[in-house]
């Protein structure tokens, strides 16, 4: 990238370790990185810094990633910003297809492909030359991999909050990878189209922390109901 300014990329992720890892990967690939852990600050920082691209965790909470994208696209100044969503991929083997909708984003990347795919995706979206370095085919660093299971010992209040955060992340992935099912819920009010995904989400959550340790009976269902309400959908009686 000699002779030209390094493209600025805003990275928004609420997990500090993952935020630092993504920022490090992109910095090493030649980008100037602006990091933000509170999605509520992301739009303000984008307006201030005018990044060429933004990398957003699909499970942002203060301002949902889908809402943030909508706000960006509605801004005349920020609308051209290229956006990549970062999916948690709570169960890699469940996904053998691409999302059918990216909610206004330009592309997506899974956490375990941050190193080998994200820089190249950004270069492609920004119309730049491919990175001169060869990234490994797969990255095993747990810092940017799947969520780490909570020990089955007594769960503290903070751990309980972590369980709810994991459930939120699972549901965000469900929304990304099951757009048609989500649309069916939003328009018809029935969860039938997503029932298998929700069952799988609960199973995966149980592998990370036993159900006896969950702070509420069904964290995945609770997170799902919150998402539907946020997206303006009704719930079945």
pLDDT tens-digit series, residues 163-174? 888 888 888 888
Q: How confident is the model at residue 45 (pLDDT cuts 50, 70, 90)?
A: very high
Give the Å distances, CA to CA, from 97 to 139, 154, 176, 178, 222: 21, 38, 11, 10, 26
DSSP percent split of the chain into helix, strand, coil, nearest 5:
50, 10, 40
Q: How confident is the model at residue 15 (pLDDT cuts 50, 70, 90)?
A: confident
CA atoms within 13 A on the CB side of 36: 25
Contacts of 27 (CB under 8 A, 6+ apart): 33
**What is the average pLDDT value for the chain, to the nearest integer?**
81
pTM of the model: 0.73
* Residue 213 reports pLDDT greater than 90: no
CA atoms within 13 A on the CB side of 215: 16
Residue 154, pLDDT score: 42
Report the alpha-carbon angle 227-64-176, nearest 5: 65
* Residue 153 reports pLDDT greater than 70: no
* Residue 151 reports pLDDT greater than 50: no
Residue 182, pLDDT score: 86
């Amino acid at each position: 990238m000699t002779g030209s300014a390094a493209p600025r990329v805003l990275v928004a992720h609420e997990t500090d370790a993952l935020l630092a890892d993504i920022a490090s990967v992109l910095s090493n690939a030649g980008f100037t990185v602006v990091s933000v852990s509170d999605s509520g600050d992301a739009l303000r920082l984008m307006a201030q810094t005018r990044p060429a691209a933004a990398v957003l965790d699909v499970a942002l909470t203060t301002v949902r990633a889908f809402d943030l994208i909508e706000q960006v696209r509605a801004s005349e100044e920020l609308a051209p910003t290229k956006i990549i969503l970062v999916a948690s991929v709570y169960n890699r083997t469940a996904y053998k297809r691409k999302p059918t909708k990216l909610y206004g984003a330009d592309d997506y990347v899974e956490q375990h492909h941050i190193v080998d795919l994200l820089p190249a995706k950004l270069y492609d979206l920004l119309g730049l030359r491919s990175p001169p370095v060869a990234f490994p085919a797969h990255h095993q660093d747990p810092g940017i991999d799947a969520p780490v299971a909570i020990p089955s010992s007594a769960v503290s209040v903070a751990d309980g909050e972590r369980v709810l955060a994991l459930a939120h992340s699972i549901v965000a992935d469900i929304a990304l990878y099951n757009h048609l099912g989500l649309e069916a819920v939003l328009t018809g009010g029935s969860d039938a189209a997503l029932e298998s995904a929700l069952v799988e989400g609960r199973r995966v959550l149980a592998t990370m922390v036993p159900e006896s340790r969950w702070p509420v009976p069904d964290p995945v269902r609770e997170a799902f109901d919150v998402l539907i309400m946020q997206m303006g959908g009704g719930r079945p009686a």
